[in-house]
Amino acid sequence: MLVQDFLHQSAERYPDKTALVCGRQRLTYGEMDQLANQLANAFLTQGITRGDRVAVYLPNSIETAVAIFAILKAGGTFVVINQSTKRDKLTYILENCRAWGLLLESRQANLADWLKTCLPALSLCVLCGKRPSHLPAGFLYFDDITARYSEERPCSHIIDRDLACLIYTSGSTGDPKGVMSDHSNVVFAAQSIISYLENRPDDIVIDVLPLSFDYGLYQLLMTFCFGGTLILEKGFAFPAAIMQRIEAERVTGFPGVPTLFAILLQMDLDAYDLSSLRYMTNTAAALPVSHIQALQQKFPGVTLYSMYGLTETKRTLYLPPAELARRPGSVGIAIPGTEVWCEDENGRRLPPGEIGELVVRGRHVMRGYWAAPEATAQRYRPGPLPGEKVCYTGDLFRMDDEGFFYFVGRKDDIIKCRGEKVAPKEVENVLYALPGVVETAVIGIPDPILGQAIQAFIVHEGNNLTESQVMAHCRANLEDFMVPQIITFCDTLPKTSSGKIKKTGLGSPQKMPERSLP
């Protein structure tokens, strides 16, 4: 099976069913399939060849969704790039993947023209939105494709080992890397997730996450796979409008990230009829236990899925909802059809209770990083069978006696304070237990005596929390070496484009006072 078959099969089964809602636009599966066929035929007419990369530099939109399936139908590989990406990084990604084509908004025609002059591989630009006054050679206008190109489904010769997409990581520690996902990777991951979420054709899923983020992208792919309806939003900048949309469209599925749910918990939701919601999902970062409990109180009839994943495997763990009350701090077990374990630095599989790096095995383990063999070899290493690759996540976990996994922290995030190892996640969970704490981030900063001092950044709903209250709470709930030395209150915390709290660059502007060990 190929990823474009998600659309093909749903269009054959439900041609007149609403597939996608975006703003005021509503497209059926039949209309989506026709538009994707026409754009695919435009690509083929313009000379796309098997495996060519086509970048989509657009906001969440009808055009973005159509382009993803059109690129696949034409035998290409899609690369969705967050539209907030700046010129230098955009140019790097396009040059790195040697993009053959690019879709972007008409208002960026000058940028497209400049990119074509400096990127020899870039042959075609498709402009979307307002009709441009002039179309130079090598440019197409999206709205013209319905009049100029056939709606017949193009023939395809690709197989499930061909690349479906490159998903570029955020690159917080260096240049972004393109994770190579072949069709079999994407199909398996989508079907595995659908199976445990128990998705069905009458599900209506709202997607407020960018399609450049794999969690947002898979809402589109999975919904088209099971034949549901996707409500595609531009983002979550106006939470009240999103709640109104959920009410109006009778949404059943609501995927989110911790920062999004933190906003929800501050809202008065009594004004909205959210009774249609069947399930909510969380990934990108683990939900604090206090937020899980608060969400259950606000949404008593909604099934909550706590999950863990990384772009290199798409999804890795999920907590069966029946276990949420017993182990709210866990992110669960391996997704269906896969295997995970913890391993120490010597390659030894660890028993329950010991902390080690999470290793992932299964068909969702992606192919590696585009044009980065050294980084690929570090992340994807030999597995149990000859020729097999497994993924070393770089994240530390422990497993309980019943096989449920608990996130401890990233290997490179571990703080070494007073000779002891401190997992920021453990300190953050304690801070989240303080009433009114909306967001928190814990980091280590250099200290001449402690090695690293622990600094906690806190966003508090009421702004009436004091440093002494935080310190007293931490001393009562943490070992002494885990208690933060610096408490910093702030109005907000920086985020990545996928909504994760971005710790890079956080740090105390003040000079640490000299101290002696207690």
**Residue for token pair 């009410």:** 247
Tally of CB atoms within 10 A around 92: 16
Instruction: Let me know: does 235 contact 208? Beta carbons within 8 Å.
Output: yes
pLDDT given at position 496: 73
Handedness of CA 473, 476, 482, 483 (dihedral sign): positive
Determine the Cα–Cα distance for residues 78 and 101; give it in Å rounded to an integer: 9
Instruction: Let me know: does 331 contact 405? Beta carbons within 8 Å.
Output: yes
Instruction: Let me know: does 103 contact 67? Beta carbons within 8 Å.
Output: yes
pLDDT given at position 284: 67
pLDDT given at position 208: 95
Longest distance between any two alpha carbons in the chain, whole Å: 77
> Counting Cβ atoms within 10 Å, is residue 102 exposed (0-12), middle (13-18) or buried (19+)?
buried
Return left, alpha or beta for 250; rule: phi > 0 is left, psi -120 to 50 is alpha, else beta.
left
Tally of CB atoms within 10 A around 285: 18
415-518 belongs to which CATH class?
A: alpha beta
Long-range residue pairs from 134-142, CB within 8 A, at least 24 positions apart, any chain: 139/109, 139/112, 140/42, 140/46, 141/106, 142/39, 142/63, 142/103
Identify which of 39, 8, 35, 7 has the alpha carbon closest to the alpha carbon of residue 230.
7
Crossing angle for the helix pair 109-118 and 87-96, to the nearest 10 degrees: 50
Determine the Cα–Cα distance for residues 5 and 202; give it in Å rounded to an integer: 19
pLDDT given at position 76: 98
Domain ranges in the chain are 5-185, 236-409, 415-518
Q: What is the 3-state secondary structure (H, E, C) of 208-231?
A: CCCCCCHHHHHHHHHHHHHCCEEE
The CA–CA distances, whole Å, from 250 to 32, 202, 265, 273, 275 equal 22, 11, 21, 9, 8
Backbone phi, then psi, for 73, in 5-degree steps? -60, -30
Instruction: Let me know: does 32 contact 63? Beta carbons within 8 Å.
Output: no
pLDDT given at position 172: 44
Determine the Cα–Cα distance for residues 502 and 482; give it in Å rounded to an integer: 21
Long-range residue pairs from 130-136, CB within 8 A, at least 24 positions apart, any chain: 130/106, 131/106, 132/106
Instruction: Let me know: does 454 contact 482? Beta carbons within 8 Å.
Output: yes
Instruction: List all residues 6 or more positions away from 387 whose beta carbon is below 8 Å from its beta carbon.
Output: none
Identify which of 357, 356, 363 has the alpha carbon closest to the alpha carbon of residue 388.
363
Encoded tokens for 183:
């069709």
Determine the Cα–Cα distance for residues 379 and 314; give it in Å rounded to an integer: 14
Question: 243: helix, coil or strand?
Answer: helix
CATH topology (fold) of 236-409: Rossmann fold (3.40.50)
Q: Which amino acid is at 48?
A: I
pLDDT along the chain (518 residues), means of 10: 98 98 97 98 97 97 98 98 91 97 96 95 96 88 93 94 93 76 98 98 96 95 98 91 96 91 88 96 80 89 93 95 92 97 95 96 97 95 95 95 92 76 83 90 83 90 88 89 91 78 68 34
Identify which of 284, 234, 193, 254 has the alpha carbon closest to the alpha carbon of residue 105.
234
Burial of 30-56, coded b for 16+ CB within 10 Å and e otherwise, reads bbbbbbbbbbbbbbbeeebeeebbbbb
pLDDT given at position 263: 85
* CATH match of 5-185 with 1.25.50.10: no
pLDDT given at position 497: 66
CA 485, distance to chain mean position in Å, is: 33
**Residue for token pair 């070393």:** 392
Question: 402: helix, coil or strand?
Answer: coil
Same fold flag, 5-185 and 236-409: yes
Determine the Cα–Cα distance for residues 278 and 253; give it in Å rounded to an integer: 6
Determine the Cα–Cα distance for residues 477 and 481; give it in Å rounded to an integer: 12
